[in-house]
Amino acid sequence: MILIVYAHHEPTSFNHALLETARNTLLRQGHEVEVSDLYAMNFEARASRSDFQEMRDSVRFGYSREQYYANRTGSFASDIAVEMDKLRRADAVIFQFPLWWFSMPAIMKGWVDRVFANGFAYGGSTGQFFERGMMAGKRAMICTTTGGPSYTFSPAGMCGSMEAALWPIHNGILRFVGFDVLPPFVVNGVDILDRETLSAALDAYAQRVSRLQEDELMFFHPWSDYAGDMRLKPGIQARTIGQLARSEPDEADTSVDEKPAAIPILETDMTAYMTVVLTVTDTEWIGEYIRHVPPIMERHGGRPVTVSGLVDVLEGDVIPSQIAHFAFPNMEALNAFMEDPEYLPWKEARQAGANTLIFAFNAAK
């Protein structure tokens, strides 16, 4: 069964058209479909004492603690229990909503607060969350619409990337309770799009929905990437928007996305530059590499100019994990670094764990 949780109050809205597109596509494919139409159901968004038929501690009310006991005793209020049953039956869940304040409308957030209960969706006595959350094995996908046009939802745009905007929902809600998360389907600028474009978006959505069970999932770091302190192990390169977007480098973190301060190149006497385009295939080597290689480079007068975060590919087939620029006093020094016998083992480790393009060039006068 596929569950669609839907939050829009207007049957003539584009969101409603997306809902109908998904429902019809899935029914045509032979799926059973259930829809939680939250406005139509007048779904209660506020978490409160009345969510529990019996209370463990009615003097000092702790919502999450009461959820835990209600899950053990089967004493959730009936509107919550009904939604939980739908989730038990669901193989996949689609969350359909217009983006409101960079998030889901409050009625859907209330559904999450009340239905993804401690003990039922995550947590419990064994502290199950992320890939061990109770929704593990089920797929989830966001389908959302925005008022902002697509160019505002880009890494350089006013709203930032859509991936960053949706990270709290993708990671903090869906992945947290264990879902395998599919890339979102987003229609930007809905308020200003013409009929033809909207109709093409519905066709594209039908295609996406028909591949719900086959499409590739979004990447989240697996448990094995984290150390005991729940931080990425040294040497594991952050690969999600949430972990790359931090502003302060983590003091225990040695991953390669830590950015050395940019050096204004015009004020230096460097004349030779090296650009490294790296596509990492195995992350094991990175921690040791960034500990040992910079001192060798420094001995030849070389230093980093910039090291990228996530790279957006605008044209071409290469999908780099990272691009870095280095400056050297001259080409002789650059070549001497590349051929330094001390660098050789690290070069070999890099070559084994990444596909790399390296360019050396002199600055144009």
Ligand X SMILES: Cc1cc2nc3c(=O)[nH]c(=O)nc-3n(C[C@H](O)[C@H](O)[C@H](O)COP(=O)(O)O)c2cc1C
Of residues 17 and 245, the one with the C-beta less far from ligand X = 17
Q: Report, in Å, the least distance between residue 142 CB and ligand X.
A: 13
Options 6, 14, 111, 285; binder of ligand X; rule CB under 6 A: 14
Options 134, 190, 280, 310; binder of ligand X; rule CB under 6 A: 190
Of residues 204 and 363, the one with the C-beta less far from ligand X = 204
Cβ-based neighbour number of residue 13 at 10 Å: 14
Options 99, 121, 174, 274; binder of ligand X; rule CB under 6 A: 99
**63 scored as a contact of ligand X (CB under 6 A):** no
Q: Which residues contact 126 (CB under 8 A, 6 or more apart)?
A: none
Of residues 6 and 273, the one with the C-beta less far from ligand X = 6
Q: Report, in Å, the least distance between residue 313 CB and ligand X.
A: 25
- Tell me how far apart the alpha carbons of residues 130 and 170 are, in angstroms, rounded to a whole number: 11
Q: Report, in Å, the least distance between residue 185 CB and ligand X.
A: 13
Q: Report, in Å, the least distance between residue 190 CB and ligand X.
A: 4
Options 110, 119, 124, 148; binder of ligand X; rule CB under 6 A: 148
- Tell me how far apart the alpha carbons of residues 270 and 322 are, in angstroms, rounded to a whole number: 23
Options 69, 102, 129, 167; binder of ligand X; rule CB under 6 A: 102
| Residue 198, token pair as written in the block | 């909207």
Of residues 98 and 119, the one with the C-beta less far from ligand X = 98
Kindly determine how many residues on this chain lie close enough to bind ligand X according to the rule CB under 6 A.
15
Give me the residues paired with residue 139 across strands. Answer: 92, 180
Q: Which residues contact 99 (CB under 8 A, 6 or more apart)?
A: 144, 145, 146, 147, 165
Q: Give residue 233's Cα distance to chain centre.
A: 19
Cβ-based neighbour number of residue 351 at 10 Å: 11
| Residue 235, token pair as written in the block | 């040497």
Residue, CB closest to ligand X:
147
* Alpha-carbon torsion, ordered 288, 289, 292, 294, to 10 deg: -140
Residue found by looking up tokens 């064994």 in the block: 126
Applying CB under 6 A, which residues contact ligand X? 8, 13-15, 98-102, 145-148, 190-191
